[in-house]
Amino acid sequence: MIMIIIFPLLFSLFLLPLLFLLIARRKAPERLPPGSLGIPFIGQSFSLLWAMRANTAEKWMADRARKYGPVSKLSLFGKPTVFIYGQAANRFVFSTDSSKMSNQQTDSVRMILGDRCLLELVGEDHQRIRSALASFLKPDSLKNYVGKMEEEVRMHLQMHWHGQTNVTVMPLMKKLTFNIICSLLFGVERGARRDMFVLYFQEMIDGMWSIPVDLPFTRFNRSLKASVKVQKMLKDLIYEKRAQLASGAPSHQDLITCLLSIRGEGDQQLVSDDEIIHNVMLIMVAGHDTSSVLITFMVRVLANDPDIYAAVLREQEEIKKSVSTGDFLTWEDLGKMKYTWRVAMETLRAFPPLFGGFRKTLEDIEYQGYLIPKGWQIFWVTGMTHMDDSIFPEASKFDPARFENPASVPPYCYIPFGGGARICPGYEFAKIETLVTIHYLVTRFTWKLCCNDNCFRRDPMPVPTRGLPIQIFPKKLL
């Protein structure tokens, strides 16, 4: 009886991927890129993950590039994969027709976030969902939510910063960005439900970059279970929001009500409940991690560079003078934070939150003389162009002046939010919450680092040593 249960499990988890890789090897044409697929199913997955957590991932990729060149094959997360890098590679990834290459992620990401999110969809479905999300995330809509975002920042600082002498920045920024997401995307106020969201959400993202072995002791299994709980909570929210809309509630009070309100022919709901759930989960992950990492590393940059700190402070103090006591920042105020945003852009170049991503070939594709077979993954890495001295002179130097004229940066070289038609639709959302948060931090506090170790590890997002503990000194509020 036990063998009847265990054998199908072993077959699905190990033997099928092994068979797939053996077939791939047997049928491998001579024009496959150089490299090795490694141990079946596991391949180079553990090696890459260990390098990311040891802060040596960039060296890991650079060593591979020196050995095999700009195109090489390997196996990651159970799938044969081709690694490509450089400006031409980025252009290839972000501009290839979606009928030839899909934005499909690893099995672990797809199983946790769902198969109806923007990362998975192609063609008309991708355009339909992207347009629906843009109706809430475009600047014309987001300018109506600046005050609500600012309320969350003020409350966060009052609860977690004021009265403290030492704080740890990374976990606090994760708390802040998640609270902003709960408020603006879900319409969930502070309380037990929001606390449960935080708990399940953190468990869910912990195993997104992992080998998809669904056994009780694995990180992936814990993430899958948490994903089910998050989806159940979102289903309950959709039910409540639909009832509120039926009672005359505003259609744009949060992202869920906005998506529920989009109607097609015959007044049919244009975005299905599953699509709402999967895309809200995607934005939860993207909005939570990207912004919290960006703000955390900006805090570290400002602590390490007095000149940059002074320039940001001057800009923010000038804006503060024009805002009456108790009033909120305006959309026009955010537009004046040009230098602060250049610092943010340089931070994203030097410490991109997203290490890289995956595509899936839908047919045999030729790239730089090599054949990438149908069904293989394509793996691209953000930092390979960000730290290229031929693109960004003295790339290891932190210099916000690089972005005084963003048009001078060659296309498909600066890609913290992707590029082309698939650039992240949450770009403006991240920009607003970053600028609002930095405004309040620099006008209310000064700080110094408690840990001078400027290293970080990736898990898979960059995390500074010890979460960036700092000593804070409140400024006297006028």
Q: Which tokens belong to 23?
A: 């077939």
Of 322, 277, 332, the C-alpha closest to 112 is 277
- Letter for the amino acid at 191? G
Q: Which tokens belong to 435?
A: 């600028």
Q: Which tokens belong to 16?
A: 């099928």
d(CA 314, CA 318): 6
d(CA 308, CA 403): 14
Of 181, 131, 126, the C-alpha closest to 152 is 181
- Letter for the amino acid at 475? K
Of 449, 443, 433, the C-alpha closest to 169 is 449
d(CA 375, CA 360): 6
DSSP 116: T
Q: How far is CA 140 from CA 5, 135, 137, 428, in A?
A: 55, 9, 8, 10
* Residue 171: cis peptide before it, omega within 30 degrees of 0: no
d(CA 441, CA 154): 10
Report DSSP letters for 153-194, one per residue.
HHHHHHHHTTT-SEEEHHHHHHHHHHHHHIIIII-PPSSHHH
Find the DSSP H helices in 354-397: 383-386
The position carrying tokens 């602590």 is 303
CB distance 82 to 356 below 8 Å: no
Cα Rg of the chain (Å, integer): 23
Three-state DSSP class for 242? Answer: helix
Q: How far is CA 241 from CA 229, 254, 285, in A?
A: 18, 10, 22
Number of Cβ within 10 Å of residue 17's Cβ equals 22
Q: Alpha-carbon dihedral of residues 249, 251, 255, 259, nearest 10 degrees?
A: 120
424 annotated to a ligand binding site: yes
Summarize the annotated binding site for heme as residue ranges: 424
Summarize the annotated binding site as residue ranges: 424
